[in-house]
Amino acid sequence: MTHPVTLAARHSPRREADATHAAVSQAVLDGVDVGILACDTSGQVTVFNRVCREFHGASSDGSMTDQFAAARLNLYRADGMTPLPFDEMPLGRSLREHEVDGEMVIAPVGLPVRLVTYQGRAILGNRHQVVGAVVVMRDVTEQRAAERRLRENALRDPLTNLPNRLWLFQATEQALREADATGDSVALLFVDLDGFKLVNDDYGHARGDQLLVRAAERLRAAAVDGEPVTRLGGDEFVLLCPGLPSTGRAHPTDLARRIISSLSQPYTVQGHSVTLSASVGIALADDAGLSAEQLVGRADAAMYAAKRAGRSQWALHSGETVTAARAAARIEKRLREALEDGSFEVHYQPIHRLADRVIVGVEALSRLPDGEGGYVSPEEFIPVAEATGLIGRVGETVVRQATRECAAWKQQLGGREFSVGVNLSVRELADPLLVSRMTAALRESGLDPQALVMELTESIFSDSAEHNLVLDELRALGPQLVIDDFGTGYSSLSYLRRFTVDGLKIDRSFVADIANDRGRWVTEAIVAMTLGLGGFVFAEGIETEAQLTALVGMGCVLGQGYLLSRPLPAGAMTALLTAPPRRPAALLTTPPR
C-alpha cells in the first residue's frame, strides 16, 4: 500500500506548478488598471482582480466564491439608488446575451461612489458552449466629471460667471418649444450699456471688466422673478422670460424699467464716480414656430430702436423696428464697401467772408454714395458708423482727403491763407489713434496745421480727464478748435469759461430765426460774447439776403449757407476757386488776446 505521504510527495510538483501558475496569473490580472471579473455558469466568481476589489470594497485576499448579490457587490443602476439583481448584472447578462456593454454605479459602504463602463463577453468552451463570462470595467468617474465641467464652462461666461450665448440659444429654443405646447409666450430683453466703450477707453479694459461684473450683479438683482441673465458678449446682456403669463412674472416692460433704473445708478471706478445708462429692447414670441435666433434678432432690433430714441430707454419690437434694423444693416454694408473700395466721398461747402463774399475756407462733409446715383443722408449713416465702430475710419478718410485737397487749393491760390474744417464726434475723441491719425494726415499732405479747423460739438467738452487730455494734445498739434452748432448745448457758457477755443459757429436754428426780435437778440449776444472773448464767429445755414445783411450788421465776419453755395465735390470746388479772380483773404484769424 502506498503511503499517503509518498503519494502527496509524488503529486506536489504539479500542485506547486498549478499554484505558481495561479499566482502569476493573479499578479498579471492585478497589474492592469481595469477591473476584470469572471464567473462560471453558476455565477460563482473565478476571477476577481485588484481593481475589482477596490471598486467593490472587497477584502484583499481575493476570496469571492459565492453567487453575487447586489448588497454584497454594491452594484446599482445608473441612478445610483436601485440595486441590480444578478440576472441584470454584467456577468449575468453576459451569460445570457453573450455580449453586453454599458455604464453602472458602484457604491460600496464607506467608499467613494464610482461610475464605471463595462464590456461583458460570454466564455465559450471547445464545443462553443457557454462555460462562463468575463467583464472588463473602467472607472470613468473623473472623466465624466471633467466632461461635465467642460460642458458647464462651455455654457458659462468666464468674466461674469453668467450663462453665455450658447446657453441662451439652447434655453430659448427649449422655452419656445414649451410655449408652443402650452400656449404661453416667451420674452427676451436685450440690454446694452450706453457709453461703455468710452468708459473702457478712459479707464482701461481691466476697470471696464470690473464695471461689467458689477453691471451683471445688478441685472441679477433686478431679475426678481428669477429670469436667467446671460452675457451675449461685450456690454450686451439678455434676460430670458419664459412661460408668460402662466408663471405670473411681471410684464417685461416693468422688468425693463427696473433694469434701466438699476444700471443708471453711479459706479465707482478708480475713485471716480461713473454713470452709465442702458438701452433695452424687448421681443415677444407672439407667433408659433419662431426660432431662438429670430427672437434674439428681434430683441436686438428693438434695442437699437431704443438707442435711437435716446439714453435710458426701452423699446418693444414691432414691424417698424425690423424695418429700421434692416435699413441700418444695409447702410452698414454700403458704408463698409465704400470705405474699402474708395468710393466714399468728401464734399466741401465754401466759407465766405460775408462783407465781400470772398471764399476763405471750406467745411469738409462726408458723403456716402448709395450705389444708385444718389447719396445716403449723413443723418442716417453717421449714427450707424458710430454704433458699429466705423466712425474712426470715416473720420480718417475725411481728414486725409480734406488736408490733401486743401494743400492743393492753397498752392493753386498762390499760397494765400485758406482753411478746411472737419467735424469731430465724441466717439472719435475716445479713439486712442485720433491724434496720430491727424498728425499723419498733416505730415502726408504738407498742410500747415493752422489751416486745419476742427469743429467740435459741445458734447465733447466734459469732465472726462481723458477727453480733456486729447483736446490738449490736439491743440498742441496746431489745428484751430471751433465749437460747432453753438447754442444747442445745455452748458455752453460754463465750458467757454474753462476751455480755450478759437471760435464759435452759430447754429442754423438761430440764423433761421434772426428776423424775429428774440432770435436776433440771442444771435447778437453770441456774436458780442465771442468777439469779447477774443475769438472769431461765423454763422451756418444762411439762406436769405436779409439774414446775411443782419449778420454783417452784428459784426459776424464769416458764414456759409445755400445763399452763398451748396456743398460741392472736390472737382467743382476747384473750378469755383480758380475760375474767377480772387482777392487775397485771411484765414479765420483769431484776434489778439
pLDDT tens sequence across 298-343: 898 899 888 877 678 898 887 666 677 778 878 989 999 999 999 9
- Rounded distance, CA 504 to CA 324, Å? 35
Strands 35-40 and 130-139: antiparallel
Residue 122 CA, distance from chain mean position:
58
Question: Quick one: which H or E segment has residue 394?
Answer: helix 391-412
- 10 pLDDT more than 70: no
- 5 pLDDT more than 80: no
Q: What is the DSSP letter of 244?
A: E
Top-confidence residue, 540 or 183: 540
Strands 480-486 and 452-456: parallel
Assign 366 a pLDDT band (cuts: 50, 70, 90): very high
- 537 pLDDT more than 70: yes
pTM of this structure: 0.55
Question: Quick one: which H or E segment has residue 277?
Answer: strand 277-284
Assign 13 a pLDDT band (cuts: 50, 70, 90): low
User: What pLDDT was estimated at residue 321?
Assistant: 65
User: What pLDDT was estimated at residue 91?
Assistant: 86
- 123 pLDDT more than 90: yes
Cα first-last separation, the chain: 141
- Rounded distance, CA 291 to CA 168, Å? 12
In the numeric block, the cell 496746431 is attached to 478
Question: Quick one: which H or E segment has residue 466?
Answer: helix 465-477
Q: Which residue from 184, 278, 290 is spatially nearest to 238, judged by alpha carbons? A: 278
Share of the chain above pLDDT 90, in %: 38
Q: Which residue from 208, 227, 229, 226 is spatially nearest to 157, judged by alpha carbons? A: 229
Top-confidence residue, 493 or 293: 293
Which tens digits make up the pLDDT trace of 160-204?
999 998 899 999 999 999 988 888 889 999 999 987 877 776 677
Calculate mean pLDDT across residues 363-376: 94
- 226 pLDDT more than 60: yes
Assign 493 a pLDDT band (cuts: 50, 70, 90): low
Domains along the sequence of the chain with CATH: 32-144 (3.30.450.20), 156-317 (3.30.70.270), 329-578 (3.20.20.450)
- Cα dihedral 514→516→522→528 (10° resolution): 60
Which of 81-90, 270-279, 515-524, 564-573 shows the lowest mean pLDDT across its residues?
Answer: 81-90
User: What pLDDT was estimated at residue 175?
Assistant: 92
CA dihedral over 216, 218, 222, 223, signed as positive or negative: positive
Assign 286 a pLDDT band (cuts: 50, 70, 90): confident
Which tens digits make up the pLDDT trace of 59-103?
555 444 333 433 445 566 656 567 767 778 888 889 999 999 998
Share of the chain above pLDDT 70, in %: 83
In the numeric block, the cell 422673478 is attached to 225
Cell (9 digits) for 161: 460667471
Calculate mean pLDDT across residues 532-536: 77
CA dihedral over 12, 14, 16, 18, signed as positive or negative: negative
- Rounded distance, CA 183 to CA 110, Å? 50
Assign 1 a pLDDT band (cuts: 50, 70, 90): very low
Coil, helix or strand at residue 251 = coil
Assign 12 a pLDDT band (cuts: 50, 70, 90): low
Coil, helix or strand at residue 569 = coil
Calculate mean pLDDT across residues 358-370: 95
User: What pLDDT was estimated at residue 3?
Assistant: 39
Which residues contact residue 471 at a Cβ distance below 8 angstroms, ignoring those fewer than 6 apart?
Answer: 429, 460, 461, 481, 499
Assign 238 a pLDDT band (cuts: 50, 70, 90): very high
Which tens digits make up the pLDDT trace of 399-443?
999 999 999 999 999 888 899 999 988 778 777 788 999 999 999
Top-confidence residue, 15 or 159: 159
Which of 155-159, 323-327, 368-372 shows the lowest mean pLDDT across its residues?
Answer: 323-327
- Rounded distance, CA 581 to CA 551, Å? 26
